[in-house]
Amino acid sequence: VLVVAATISLVAVCGLLSILAISGYRTLTSPKEHFFVRTHIAAYFVSLLICDLAQAIGSMINARWAHDQSVSLDGLCTIQGAMKNGGNVGTALWTLVIAIHTWTLLFLRIRPSTPILYATLAGVWSLIICVILSGPGAIQTTTSGPYFGISGFWCWISPNYAVQRFCLEYLFMFFCAGVSFILYVCVWARMRGWLVVDGWRTKIMWRGVGEEWRERAGKGKDRVDEHMISVMKQMLWYPVRYFSSSRILMNDSVMRVGCVCDHCASDCDL
């Protein structure tokens, strides 16, 4: 089942990347600047898709273990563990980057400059690579064995590194999803008129979206339509969906986090 789901995800991600590539090629000579493929969010979205692609490929390696009816501690196992770790952390980080960018545009009304785009791309990708390489390069010890090893029915961070597993993956996922949700709530609240930003000061307006808000919104910079508010409502649930799809709220993940707290690593490769 996991291999089938990974294959579907792989096809979907490749399809989206192909559409973006075609769109970028067709608009290459256009003088217009307001195409999606030329925005910062497009670059972040492509980075997110690349991490999704790594997750899908990592999960598809399970086909080898299913064929062999066992998981082997070899080079392919290390590749799967690295791809799953990097894919999960990368997805979390780029989800947070997209949320911060949305918050900057719609809450602060600030348009980030191009150097910020390049710095963000370089910084986040460097962090992802450091997280992947820090395990085998700096954390792995002879007594604990390989950092990326057998973990139940696939390869991932070895159960012997339970604390590192939590700090270098689950912590990123919890933090990024939580902060993303808070940022989307702030954006939605401002668009509803409950938060009013004046420079760097934020005021809370305890009133509903009545005629008073509509009149004020029409005069100020917070001119938004009902469709945009509806879109933001849906975006509020994206971090929650990300939580579920990333297995954070599933029983095996909760048990693994509990194992870290209890130092019972032997029970963690479920």
Q: Which of 86, 88, 175 is nearest to 131 (CA)?
A: 86
Residue 199: the pLDDT is 62
What burial class does residue 205 get, using C-beta atoms within 10 Å of its C-beta: 0-12 exposed, 13-18 middle, 19+ buried?
middle
What is the reported pLDDT for 152? 86
pLDDT value, residue 238:
61
Per-residue pLDDT, 9: 87
Q: What is the pLDDT of residue 269?
A: 42
Burial state string for 126-164 with b = 16 or more CB within 10 A and e = fewer than 16? eebeebbeebeeebbeeeeebbbbbbeebbbbbbbbbeb
Nearest to 216 by CA among 186, 188, 192: 192
pLDDT reported for residue 38: 82
pLDDT score for 239: 59
What pLDDT is stored for residue 259 in this prediction? 40
Q: What are phi and psi of 148, to 5 degrees?
A: -95, 110
From the CB of residue 174, how many other CB atoms can be counted at a distance below 10 Å?
A: 16
Say which CATH number the domain at 174 has: 1.20.1070
Range of the domain at 195: 2-267
**pLDDT tens for each residue of the chain, 270 residues long:** 688 888 998 999 999 999 989 988 888 777 676 777 888 988 999 999 999 999 999 999 999 998 888 999 999 999 999 999 999 999 999 999 999 998 988 888 888 899 999 999 999 999 999 999 999 999 999 999 999 999 888 999 999 999 999 999 999 999 998 999 899 888 888 877 777 776 666 666 655 444 444 444 444 444 444 555 555 555 556 655 655 555 443 334 443 444 444 443 333 444
User: Residue 15: its pLDDT value, please?
Assistant: 93
In the chain, the number of structural domains is 1
Identify the pLDDT of residue 229. Answer: 56
Q: Which whole-number Å values give the CA distances from 53 to 29, 62, 150, in the listed order?
A: 29, 15, 22
